[in-house]
Amino acid sequence: MGSIILSDALEAGYSVQALVRNPTSILSHKPYRNIILGNVLNDADLDRAMAGTDIIISALSTDGSSTLSQSMPKIIDKMEIHRIKRIITIGTAGILQSRNEPNLYRFQSNESRNKSTLATEDHLRAYLLLKQSNLDWTIVCPTYLPSGEKTGNYRYERDVLPLHGQSISTSDTADFAIKQIHSKQFLKTRVGLAY
């Protein structure tokens, strides 16, 4: 997802600093700018990545650990130090509210088919940290994410998954995330995304 967001941002004319754990997939995108090999849990790496930055887009995936929720307090702190107000993150549809049981998240309800909730719980912890912050955050919450071309034709809804939403490509998810850079429509909210 991060490499698609990088490619779309560069194509749209943005100057990008990318903090990456593994630059292999990123290096194929030209013209790439300022790729920083580092760790989101390392304060110095975050400082280097955020220096001179206006906005943060985080496509940090869960890797079976709690890296996402461990890094969010550091990201929030560093954004405040660097006076960066806007963050867009890629989450998961599991942290949206359930349509059938609105007091539950989707992953806690009968709407979810996932047997393992470890990754979703990590996303939930990151969401709750952002929710308590003073940042202008948006969490893009796609459902099933197959590879696919950008169509620009998808549905989105505040805090819930669009009705009968089954999938959304990684390319269309990246497209929506990039469009949020200058949009104020979904500040301080989660956005369900699907076809």
Split into its structural domains, the chain has a count of 1
CATH number, domain with residue 131: 3.40.50.720
Query: Residue 23: inside a domain, yes or no?
Result: no
Query: Residue 53: inside a domain, yes or no?
Result: yes
Task: Return the percentage of the chain with pLDDT > 70, whole number.
Answer: 95
Query: Residue 8: inside a domain, yes or no?
Result: no
Domain hosting 88: range is 38-194
Q: How far apart are CA 99 and CA 61, in angstroms?
A: 25
CA angle 88, 137, 79 (to 5 degrees): 85
**Cβ 165 vs Cβ 192: under 8 Å:** yes
Query: Residue 15: inside a domain, yes or no?
Result: no
Tell me which residues of the chain have a pLDDT lower than 70: 25-33
Query: Residue 93: inside a domain, yes or no?
Result: yes
Query: Residue 17: inside a domain, yes or no?
Result: no
Query: Residue 174: inside a domain, yes or no?
Result: yes
Q: How far apart are CA 56 and CA 77, in angstroms?
A: 13
User: Which residues touch 77 (CB under 8 Å, ≥6 apart)?
Assistant: none
Query: Residue 137: inside a domain, yes or no?
Result: yes
Q: What phi and psi values does residue 95 have, to the nearest 5 degrees?
A: -95, 5
Output the pLDDT for position 31. Answer: 54
Measured on CA atoms in the order 135, 59, 169, 167, is the torsion positive or negative?
negative
Q: What are 99-155's pLDDT values in tens digits?
A: 999 999 999 999 987 778 989 999 999 999 999 999 999 999 999 999 999 999 999
